[in-house]
Structure 1
Amino acid sequence: MSHLTPPQTLTREEICHLIDNCAYFCCLPSRDLDSLEQDLQTTSEPILPDSERDVYIRIQIEDGGNMIGNSSCYGLKKRLPQTETPVIQECKLLANLSGREHFNRI
């Protein structure tokens, strides 16, 4: 995760890899992010290449409306737009796991 830095663009394969390797995820409209992010406790510590700590990654997908509300990784990947270039907007270490109740558990 240390190689992911905002505002980095991602390929479809990179997004699918992130989806396949996440423990929690949530796909919602950007207007709903503030309330979700307020419950997360992040740290400004750097993400080390060998770190096993949990990371919060926010990815903007402009034409991702069909992905909203999906509760499965398969559904997210299936509805991932073919022509869109997703952009990482946030990538931060989590200080703890509080706030994860807003996310779907894999």
Structure 2
Amino acid sequence: MTVALHLVVPAFVVNNIRENDLITASDLEKLIDNVRYFLCTKSAVSDLIEESLKFTDENILTIHERREIYIRVHIADGQEMLDKKVPYILKRNLPSHGQGVVRKIACLEDLSGLEAFNRV
């Protein structure tokens, strides 16, 4: 089962990550290590979750390094990560291939809409 890992991280963590990039296990772990808010769901509900978030069109490379960036990564065979509430458990349950595909990355206008997310 493909899961969607929804993360809110500071801008300095995303470096050169772009939509549709393949992301490695070590990059995923770095994102999880720096996560401020997160949620792991079935990929089918990703659009519903994103409807409550407000994004800007700002260039991620030029914004302040502490600004919140939303990133959604789809991970195949990630069912062991579903509904986990602790970042360490997310990392521990990464599938053995340990990679995902970035489906969305954007700057958040504010923190509204994150009520369903786990806060770190």
Q: What range describes the TM-score normalised by the shorter chain of this pair?
A: over 0.9
TM-score (normalizing by structure 1):
0.93
Q: Which residue of 2 aligns with 1:57?
A: 71
Structure number having the greater strand percentage: 2
Indicate whether 1:26 and 2:20 are aligned: no
Q: Which residue of 2 aligns with 1:105?
A: 119
Secondary structure of 1:81's partner? coil
Identity %: 36
Higher relative contact order (CA 8 A, sep 6+): 1
Q: Which residue of 2 aligns with 1:66?
A: 80
Aligned-residue CA RMSD (Å): 1.2
| Paired residues, number | 106
Q: Structure 1, unaligned stretches of length 5 or more?
A: none
For 1:85-96, what aligned pairs fall within 5 Å after superposition? 85-96=99-110
Partners of 1:16 and 1:36 in 2: CA distance: 22
Cα pair 1:64 1:81 within 8 Å, conserved: yes
Runs of 4 or more above 6 Å deviation: none
Deviation at 1:83, TM superposition (A): 1.4
Partners of 1:63 and 1:19 in 2: CA distance: 18
The match for 1:82 among 96, 108, 114 is 96
Q: Structure 2, unaligned stretches of length 5 or more?
A: 1-13
Deviation at 1:8, TM superposition (A): 0.7
